[in-house]
Chain A
Amino acid sequence: MDISTQQTDTDDTSPPTPPPPPSAEEKRAARGATRPGDRIFLGLSRGSGIFLLVIMAAIAVFLTYRAYLAISKDEANFLTAFEWNTSLLPPKFGIAVLAFGTVVSSIIAMVIAVPIAVAIALFITHYAPRRMSGPVSYVIDLLAAVPSIVYGLWGALVLVPHMDGLFGWLNDYLGWTGVFSWDQGAPRSMLTVGILLAVMILPVITNVSREVFRQVPQMHEEAALALGATRWEVIRMSVLPFGRSGVISASMLGLGRALGETMAVATVLSPDFDIHASLLNPGGGTFAQNIASKFNEATEFGRDALIASGLVLFVITLLVNGAARMIIARRKEYSGANA
């Protein structure tokens, strides 16, 4: 005690001396990256970031280059032609049917899966007793882990043979629209694919929505309760608005999987190269299914053409993601984030 006070005293009385100019080592110390652990970690994380960018760029260059090779020799209109004949001389191929089929099957899947997934998530978080919500969540998690080829086999062996009743009913009551007319063919159609995709993307949408609904602050729910809201009104006033952007993100994750799904579609769909008004009759195709079923037997040039179609799928996925981000950003002011 005494010594330290004495020291401070002498320090205070001594004349002020200018501090020595900082050495190179001290300068580095001021920047904070002198410890070996810090330096190694900085290098690792920076390296990983750069590596990722390099890979992305390499993929983009590869896809664009091979696609260019194919499209430059295409005698048909690449965007609008209804055929895929890469071994003709001159070759003729177009992605219109694939784009249509990919988008339509994914929309069907979303229309079916999103409402059911949101309902399951609400049930788990707000209705089910604790004893039940655990096992239900677990089963949903399991569904997410099933490989897509298993879904494909299930679709082809179980779903397809059981679609006749539904298709007949749709044809009887909604056949006049054209969209739901059915010629009694095998139900290896876009609607069946959409239903199968809905089952496949249900778990991921449910899981993400469930986490979002769980995070709704207690005080927002109590605000609605104290006003005399019923359980459903609490969900409508507090839970759904708070979870809105999360549900959109969840749906986009699901849509991403539906757009790119390959094996399940390839096992169930009976493809052709035409756009059919009816969702119930077989035919059509998707990007991923077309690539998977043609790639093995394709020539070098045929593979380039398939890569070109893959590039289009990539662009569609980018557009969908951008649109989702815009929807979320538009209502940021009203999101729960600043509460």
Chain B
Amino acid sequence: MAKRIDVSGLTAYYGSHKAIEDISMTVEPRSVTAFIGPSGCGKSTFLRTLNRMHEVTSGGRVEGKVLLDDEDLYGAGVDPVSVRREVGMVFQRPNPFPTMSIFDNVAAGLRLNGSYKKSELADVVEKSLKGANLWNEVKDRLNKPGSGLSGGQQQRLCIARAIAVEPKVLLMDEPCSALDPISTLAIEDLIGELKERFTIVIVTHNMQQAARVSDRTAFFNLAAVGQPGRLIELDDTERIFSNPSVQATEDYISGRFG
């Protein structure tokens, strides 16, 4: 199920502004890769190029290659809509569809992809909510609006919605930054379980979180304000946090960054 991501020479623009430059990396299937780095260094922009969400922003434009196993996401004739059905995404702020019930939120992606019988839908919804560790909390109120849940529950609902369509890759853009510590812990435990089925990439500002949940860590930085962000190094998380090979990484991790 899970697929390998192979990025080579990727550069992304906002209009004429170059946001990230010449990024190459490989993300192994069934692993968690964390992106860390100062604000504005292009982590989120890079994440959004992996499911072609970057080009939704006006002026957004990408050069380079992103291979999902052997398929180039930016190849000619590739439909961004079908890319996003293979590469799921969870956002910084929980964003369940406010007008839909909990059940409909989880079923939303499936309904986009085709018609399902009611019983099939119910099975997938239950499996996805269980997969997101939310089933026990909401099983009695599946018909209530998703916006009535707590922030942490909403974020797990969004994860359930993303995994319901069985994506190959799951992208998470600071999924815990709007949550309290207990909800954060629940999401982190969940990431540990989900990596057995999906390739996971997570952007985080919390270095302890990166150390806790990820197998590999990528450090991004920019040379100066206005310069494009670059990938400084990508290595096993343990190595990045104990003995990184680049001085800038060590400075950032130990808090000596500007």
Using a CB–CB cutoff of 8 Å, the interface residues on chain A facing chain B are 130, 217, 219-220, 222-230, 233, 237-238, 241-242, 244, 331, 333-336, 338-339
Contacts and interface: CB of A to CB of B under 8 A. Distances in A.
Contact of A226 (B88, B98, B100): B88
A133 to B, nearest CB: 12
A230 B95 contact: no
19 contacts: A223-B161, A226-B88, A226-B89, A227-B84, A227-B88, A227-B109, A227-B112, A228-B81, A228-B82, A228-B113, A229-B112, A233-B112, A237-B108, A242-B98, A244-B99, A334-B98, A335-B99, A338-B148, A339-B147
Contacts of B99: 241-242, 244, 331, 334-336
Contact of A228 (B97, B109, B147): B109
Given A222-B91, A227-B112, A229-B112, A335 B85 contact: no
B162 A336 contact: no
A334 B58 CA distance: 30
A333 B145 contact: yes
Given A226-B53, A226-B89, A219 B95 contact: yes
Contacts of A227: 84-85, 88, 108-109, 112, 161-162, 165
B56 A225 contact: yes
A335 B97 CA distance: 10
Contacts of A219: 91, 93, 95
Given A222-B91, A225-B53, A228-B165, A335 B98 contact: yes
Nearest to B158: A223
B60 interface: no
Task: Give the interface centre of B89, B95, B158 by most chain A CB atoms within 10 Å.
Answer: B95
Given A226-B162, A241-B98, 4 more contacts: A222-B91, A226-B88, A227-B165, A241-B99
Contacts of A229: 81, 84, 112
Contacts of A228: 81-85, 109, 112-113, 165
B56 to A, nearest CB: 6
B160 to A, nearest CB: 12
B29 interface: no
Interface size class, chain B: 20 to 34
A336 B148 CA distance: 11
A334 B89 CA distance: 24
Q: Secondary structure at chain A's binding surface: helix, strand, loop or mixed?
A: helix
Nearest to B92: A219
Nearest to A228: B85
Nearest to A244: B99
Contacts of A220: 95, 97-98
A241 B83 CA distance: 25
Q: List 6 tightest A-B contacts by C-beta distance, closest first.
A: A228-B85, A241-B99, A339-B98, A226-B89, A227-B109, A228-B84
Contact of B81 (A217, A230, A331, A338): A230
Contacts of B83: 228
Contact of B95 (A223, A233, A331, A333): A223
B55 to A, nearest CB: 11
Interface string B146-166: 011000000000100110010
B51 interface: yes
B96 interface: yes
Contacts of B84: 225-229
B108 A336 contact: no
Nearest to A241: B99
B226 to A, nearest CB: 25
Contacts of A333: 145, 148
Contact of B98 (A222, A233, A338): A338
Nearest to A233: B112
Nearest to A333: B145
A79 to B, nearest CB: 41
B109 A222 contact: no
A219 B96 CA distance: 9
Nearest to B154: A339
Interface string B100-112: 1000000011001
Contacts of B53: 222, 225-226
Contacts of B88: 226-227
Nearest to B57: A218
A108 B89 CA distance: 45
